[in-house]
Amino acid sequence: MAMKINTITALLILCALSSAAQTKTKHEQWMDDFKRTYADEVEKEKRLNIFADNLAYIEKFNSEDNGTYKLGLNQFSDLTYEEFVALHSCIKHEPVMVESGFNVTAKPPKRKRVPPSMDWRQGGAVTNVKDQGDCGSCWAFATTAAVEGILKIEKKPLISLSAQELVDCDKENDGCSSGSIFKAFDYMKKNGIAKDDDYPYKAIVGECLSNIKRAGKISGYVRVAPGEQNLLEAVAKQPVTIIIATDEKFRDYKSGIFGNGPCGPKQTLTFNHAVVVIGYGGKGENINMEELQHGSLFSKLISLTKY
């Protein structure tokens, strides 16, 4: 009996060593893929352990057949979720936000008829997905994307607008350290905005170049009332900027329809990212809901709207 127990223990140790070796090999390959280096061996060991935890989380999630999407390794895989949020959150607290819901005693609003599906990419009102890099500027990308869309819908040429101008010149916001989507729209209402070609993105706060030719301007903006139907009706007219709360699955997203998240009462959520909703409806791969101006990792992320 003792020999049998010792044999089982030895096998368990060998399996653990084999798994650790495989994880270390994957980490080395990941470092090469993403050009990651560390200051010293202590930092490398720390990041390896975090990488191992994230890899185990990803593999467990994918093995459970969660249906519409898969997780995978990416450039954030050696960060804890807390580090990821601290480094990449890009939204100031928006005190005007209210909880989605309805008053059961109120008269239901008269609903507007909308198309059964909408994809503003097919309408030619969506530019390419941008990469914000290590700058917390999602607020700038998500707002310029909505303005790009409405300008195209109003029969103007589709052009990429300058997120960098907002990062440099919108002094009501904090450049690469987060911002308010409402203040960004206020800036573009007052000052207009340059083309991205004329004022390209640098992913760092620089000197404000205010004398560059204006490529577009808005006369105002409307805050969409709480409720999914209100969002649906707004997106039927144009791309719409929203802010969202994210979780570990968002960080580790790989492919498919991202259809769940940390939904709950507003008080329990941390809104930390801005995106632009570019459509709704459809089936399967045609459910294309968000252009996430977060980075090239999320250039193919698609999602159901459940906000």
- Told to judge if 88 belongs to the known catalytic residues of this protein, a careful annotator would answer no
Beta bridge partners of 256: 69
Q: Which of 132, 164, 238, 293 is catalytic?
A: 132
Considering the candidates 88, 90, 135, 273, report the single residue annotated as catalytic.
Answer: 273
Contact indicator for 209, 199 with CB cutoff of 8 Å? yes
Token pair 């191992």 is found at 52
The Cα–Cα gap between 139 and 274 comes to 6
Secondary structure (3-state) at 44? helix
In the three-class reduction of DSSP (H, G, I as helix; E, B as strand; rest coil), residue 189 is classed as: helix
Cα–Cα distance for residue pair 169/176, rounded to 1 Å = 12
Beta bridge partners of 240: 277
User: How many CA atoms lie within 13 Å of 283's alpha carbon, on the beta-carbon side?
Assistant: 0
Helix (H, G, I), strand (E, B) or coil at 163: helix
* 138 is an active site residue: yes
Annotated catalytic, 294?
no
DSSP 6-28: HHHHHHHHHHHHHHHHHHHHHHH
List all residues 6 or more positions away from 186 whose beta carbon is below 8 Å from its beta carbon.
Answer: 172
Residue pair 90/138 in contact (Cβ under 8 Å)? The answer is yes
Looking at the DSSP bridge assignments, the partners of residue 68 are none
What one-character DSSP code corresponds to residue 107? P
Of 173, 128, 178, nearest in space to 148 by CA: 128
- Which amino acid is located at 68 in the chain? T
Q: Which of 27, 88, 135, 138 is catalytic?
A: 138
SS3 of 182, please? helix
**The tokens of 22 are what?**
């495989």
Q: Hey, is 29 helix, strand or coil?
A: helix
The catalytic residue positions are 132, 138, 273
